[in-house]
Amino acid sequence: MLIEIPNVLSKVQVAECRQLMDSAEWVDGNVTSGYQSAQVKNNMQLPEGSPVARQIGDLIQDVLGASPLFISAALPLKVFPPLFNRYESGQAFGTHVDNAIRHLRGTNFRLRSDLSATLFFSEPDEYDGGELTIEDTFGEQKVKLSAGSMVLYPSSSLHHVTPVTRGSRVSSFFWMQSMVRDDGQRTLLFQLDTAIQKLTADRGAKDLEVISLTGVYHNLLRRWADS
Q: How confident is the model at residue 139 (pLDDT cuts 50, 70, 90)?
A: confident
| Whether the predicted pLDDT of 33 surpasses 60 | no
Q: How confident is the model at residue 222 (pLDDT cuts 50, 70, 90)?
A: very high
| Whether the predicted pLDDT of 29 surpasses 80 | no
| Whether the predicted pLDDT of 138 surpasses 90 | no
Q: How confident is the model at residue 35 (pLDDT cuts 50, 70, 90)?
A: low
Question: What does the domain layout of the chain look like in residue ranges?
Answer: 3-178, 183-224
Distance (Å, whole) CA 88 – CA 91: 6
In degrees, to the nearest 5, what angle opens at C-alpha 38 toward C-alphas 35 and 43?
Answer: 155
| CATH architecture entry for 3-178 | Sandwich (2.60)
Q: For residue 69, what are the β-bridge partners?
A: none
User: What is the b/e burial string over 99-126, where b = at least 16 CB atoms within 10 angstroms of the residue's CB?
Assistant: beebeeeeeeeebbbbbbbbbbbbeeee
**What's at 85, amino acid-wise?**
N
pLDDT in tens, 70-92: 999 999 999 999 999 999 999 99
Number of DSSP helices (H) and strands (E) in the chain, helices first: 6, 17
Q: For residue 173, what are the β-bridge partners?
A: 83, 118
Please give the model's pTM, rounded to 2 decimal places.
Answer: 0.93
Distance (Å, whole) CA 54 – CA 47: 10
How much of the chain, in percent, has pLDDT values that exceed 90?
A: 89
What pLDDT is recorded for position 48?
87
Q: Which residue did the predictor score with more confidence, 49 or 195?
A: 195
What pLDDT is recorded for position 227?
80
CATH number (4.10.860.20, 3.50.50.60, 3.40.50.2300, 3.40.20.10) of 183-224 reads 4.10.860.20
| Whether the predicted pLDDT of 38 surpasses 90 | no
What pLDDT is recorded for position 136?
82
What pLDDT is recorded for position 151?
98
pLDDT, the chain, mean: 94
Distance (Å, whole) CA 177 – CA 115: 7
Contact 46, 53 (CB under 8 A): yes
| Whether the predicted pLDDT of 34 surpasses 80 | no
Of 59, 41, 40, which is closest to residue 51 (Cα–Cα)?
Answer: 59
How much of the chain, in percent, has pLDDT values that exceed 70?
A: 96
| Residue range 86-106: mean pLDDT, rounded | 94
Give the dihedral of Cα atoms 61, 63, 68, 71; nearest 10 deg. 0
Per-residue DSSP letter, 74: H
